[in-house]
Amino acid sequence: MGFNGSSSTSPPLRNNLPPFVDRFGDIPEPVRRQMIGACLSTLRQHLERMVEEIKSLKEPCWDCVRQLEDAVMAADSLGLEGVESYWSALARCSLEFENWERERVEKENRYGRWVWLHDVINSSDQDVHDVDDDDDDGGLKIYD
């Protein structure tokens, strides 16, 4: 099934437009162009907002990337002009997220348990005491 319930065996569309755009077929051409233009403009604004929101994230959100990818694929199938810039933005966001993930893994490998312990200490209200006196923090003990 295609957009709006159309099947893959449906006849070719006028101007090779997707089925939902073809719904404007009975509307006079000048108005039809304006309506299609308004729909594509709204889609473009939505894509730009999604890209900006993803760029502002402080940690990876792969669900956001998948949603953006779905939206860009839809825009591409509609023939939205300039869709290449959204594909590029999607690739940059994915690459940045992959870099964040790689850095996180490297950090965990480098610091191992200390990273976890640091996060536990900073994210909880637990009391932490140095149980040995050599101040190397090798004897941290956490009390609830």
Among all chains, which residue has been given the structure tokens 């536990």?
120
Q: What are the extents of the domains in the chain? A: 3-111, 112-144
DSSP SS3 for 129: strand
The pTM of this model reads: 0.52
**10 touches 19 (CB < 8 A):** yes
pLDDT over threshold 60, residue 137: no
Contact 22, 3 (CB under 8 A): no
Which amino acid is residue 90, in one-letter code? Answer: L
pLDDT in tens, 81-125: 888 999 999 999 899 989 988 888 887 776 665 656 666 677 655
Q: How far apart are CA 134 and CA 29, in angstroms?
A: 83
Q: At what angle do helices 113-122 and 83-111 cross, to 10 degrees?
A: 100
User: Do the beta carbons of residue 23 and residue 32 sit within 8 Å?
Assistant: no
